[in-house]
Structure 1
Amino acid sequence: MKFFFPDSQDQVDPSFDFITEERDPFRVRQRDEQYAHEVLTEAPFDGILVSKAIVDGQAGSAGKYTVAQRHRLYREGAQRFFRLNHGHTPLKIMGDCGAFSYVAEEYPPYSVDDVIDFYDGCGFHYGIAVDHVIFQYEPTVPRDDERAAEWRRRQEITLELAEQFWQRCKARRVGFTPLGVAQGWSPRSYADAVAALQRIGYRRIALGGMVPLKTHEILACLAGVDDVRAATTQLHLLGISRCEDVPTFTKHGVTSFDSTAPFRQAFKDDRDNYHAPDRNYVALRVPQVDGNAKLKARIRSGEVSQAQALKLERAALSLLRQYDDDKVDVELVVEALADYSAIWDGRSDRSSQYRETLTARPWRDCSCDLCKALGIEIVIFRGAERNKRRGFHNLYVFEQRLRASKEGTPRDQDRD
């Protein structure tokens, strides 16, 4: 089972000083900052998923890449741009269109040849055909029901574009392996899409639109696809990451998936910020006084003294570091976090959760490069440099859980 991590230009600065919170003023982001596969001794994924929408944007909206970054990616190619050979583990690149970014549009904004130019021009290993997302899951609605008219239209667009994509890839003799996309709203409609894609010639098929589905709904769709799937057809799940279900997914022909969930939970989730092998922990929130919008507003209104806020912030950070050096008791740290939280948050009391994290000290049991290097800094919820590193740690743990779900077997070999 292959895990692809969707790229969104998430890198960390190795020059960042966690005490002074300063960095090298002469750093160049693309040259000096590091990806997860460079920071960690062993890459926590098998490859990177790169979206055309993230790189190029679309009419009316820019992507996340600067003009200079886009030009460099096209000029140097993905292998060199992402420094795939500079890390410790060989990685593959998969490309997609970023259908979520244009889900509200009547029709996908990219032509088939535009997308092929992107994949082949950047030197990707795999390229996913242009698709149009269907988000509904209605297994009891018959295919000819009027409520399914828009779903049918999107499915037909996706299949038409998949056929054009297949034919143009053959005619242009592309250097990547093409994947068709099956969009559906029920087990039967997904099965129909997979059957159509196999008739076109695809033996690698991505299943899209499943992110909102519950696990039993995904499994129902995979069981439906089993009725038509050829033995040589490999499935990719777009946006799905559920380690505990990997053995079951594998039985249904799933050989790869992609997700940002473990990374994003580091700073988007309310509770599950730091992943450990057996459970997840809340990160210790110590926002910068000058970087927290809510606290800045209270300071401007005169409700909170800036000097007092800075004092509480510094006390919390100092006690956290002393605790990691076994110099203070856990209750002193919890009290300091609560005192600071009272002025920047004022609503959420996470003291019991903080006590759990601090008492367990999970970073001391972790063997990843980041936890060994940073200590308690990895569980402090504060700014992009800490939060992204915690996200990279989460990817490391996710990969370990993925291995465990496969009963400790080594990574699968590519079947190309």
Structure 2
Amino acid sequence: MRIGVVGGSIAGCAGALAAARAVPEAAVVVFERSAGALRDRGAGIGIQHERFGELAAAGFLDASLPATANDAREWYVWDGGSGDRRKGGGSGGRGNSDGGGTSGLGKMILRQPFPFDGYNWGHLYRSLRGRLPSRVEYRGDARVMSVTPTESGASVTLTDGGVEHFDLLLGADGYRSVVREAMFPGVVPDYAGYLCWRGLSDFAQIEGLPHGAFFTVGFPHGHLVAYPIPADDGRVHFNWVLYATVPPEVTGDLRTATSIPPGAVSDALLDFMDALLSRELPPLWAEAIRKTAREDVFIQPIYDFEVPAYAKHRMLLLGDAGAVSRPHAGAGSVKAMQDAAALLDLWSTAADRSDLGALAARYDAARRPPGHAIATLARRIGEAQVLDTPDWSAFEEATFVPWLAALTAMPDGTELGGRRL
């Protein structure tokens, strides 16, 4: 049996690992379009404790992965007053004024238990890549141009003109997936109408920032999410994501799915961000973001979509190829690894591991519902916290808690961080 995997990032490595474990005698080939190691922008990932435990039990993660331990999520808003007006007098002195008579952190609306730890995308990717058995053929600088379903599987056509056939093809090639295009032509991500700036600062150089927590700072038509993550050199990074609506004349046309890497962000977008920091964020948070050099800031326009099915013919979709959820649910990488873990379980327990049609049907039934549910939850949060924001400054804990609970409640058990595997 030949199993092809299009995409060699987190979803691709997890999918290849699942295939290699489920069918040890199969030939597994991974096609990654980037040459050499994938570029690591250092982006942060928050993983919920129970989801981490499930993936560790399935053999995709383990406790050796570097992490920053956090025990709470703190919600802030700039109330425009002077001093640090944290609710209840400051949570044990953790708050700090900037000493200049203006609000430092702002008013804390809520400090809630939050069972997430912070991880570095690069560490997670390298850990998964290192788990691949040597018999898995990982090809870098191998761009798949198109995919064609056949009666016995699927064929891939590469940029060098080569064509290869596989009995089963896993599409783990992200939100611009060529495998998905072969399965469902024209199903593409929809631009949500807003974007986020992302970057890293040195946590130790930001005076007055609380430790051991995830942070959210609300403002009209947007919010900041930030949390510490481990760096490669032993330091701790301040990983931040700033969401906001931006006029089309500043963004340009973002309807076609794209991202803007460090060094390619326009001055107009960076200037817009700088003005937003001065206008909407408490000074300490604005200062923390400005610790990131302008040339290191990158932009992620926000998209989402769901596919009609996670499997068709002998092609399966994993991760963002199957459903892109806005980052608000904190489940993108987790969902990709869960897709692979479910595939491994279904394949390993199948009465006939060579019956790929039956495997595809079972996989679709298992993974389409949670993929769609996570996208629905993230869309709901984005609408409420970016496009149609409340009056953040009017919230007190007594009014904020029920608003937040109603926003994130899903009847099927989907929650921030994903859904039970």
Q: Which one has a larger percent strand, Structure 1 or Structure 2? A: 2
Compute the TM-score of the two structures, normalised by the length of structure 1: 0.25
Structure in which a larger fraction of residues adopt helix: 1
Larger radius of gyration: 1
TM-score, length of structure 2 as denominator length: 0.25
